[in-house]
Amino acid sequence: MSKKSSILSDTIISEPRSNKGIDFYLQGIESEGGNKNSFDKYCDKYLCCCKSFRALTGVKLLALFLSTSSFVITIRFIQELINRKGKNTDEVQATFLKLLIVIPVSVSMTVSLSRKSAGCLVPFLTLQIVGFVTGIIQAIALIYYIFVTTENNAARSLCTLIFYVFIVMIQLWFISIVVSCWKYFNDRRLHKRKNAYTNFIPMRPPFDQIDFNLEAGLNNEKEIVKQSNTKMSIAKEEELTDTFESSIKL
């Protein structure tokens, strides 16, 4: 190993933990807030029921309700097939259509909860939006019927209208819960993508605080070479002198 490299290695090893040396080669970077890399899953926009529960909990209850409904409708469909002896009656067809709607939505909700995927909530949102629009249209039609009809069943129509308004409000509430959960899944995914890399960046070490003294090392190396050359020349002169003296004696 040359004098230059030995001086360089000795200088680095001699002070590996100085306050102004290699310890500052990496500096941490904090993100916003207190513990800055943690995702706030209790943010207000991820809550429901007057900010009493997380929207994720509400979606879990909705998924449980859909799974139970799918099971009940399946049992009913099997019973209708047995009672009707396999004939394609209107009731069997209606129950089969319910299964075609409820089961895929229930499966998508379950997959969304297991994979924390916002995209799998879209089928349920679509179903609720369609039901919400249908309920509003039916409520408007009932209001028109109550004020236009001359029959004596206005009280019954009013009760039906109140029921439809209640259903529409429930659907709107379900939509708000699922939208909050959709925001939670989407923001959580973006946060993970943003913090997928290390929380450190390389910084230039303060070389001005580490005295490598390369120029002094080079000068010392030149001095050593010069001394070795001088010693070699002296040894050659002594050898020549001894040879000359021995030849004179002969």
Q: What average pLDDT does the segment 111-119 reach?
A: 89
Confidence check: pLDDT of 23 > 90: no
Confidence check: pLDDT of 202 > 70: no
Least confident of 22-26, 196-200, 229-233: 22-26
Residue 111, pLDDT score? 92
DSSP string, 1-63: --HHHHHHHHHHHHSTT-TTTGGGSEEE---SSSSTTS--TT-GGGEETTTTEEHHHHHHHHH
Q: What is the mean pLDDT of the chain?
A: 73
**DSSP 3-state of 200:** strand
Strand partners, 202: 26
In this structure, is the dihedral angle defined by the CA atoms of residues 88, 94, 97 and 102, taken in order, positive or negative? negative
| Domain positions in the chain | 47-191
Which tens digits make up the pLDDT trace of 140-181? 888 887 777 666 666 777 788 888 888 889 989 999 999 999
Confidence check: pLDDT of 63 > 80: yes
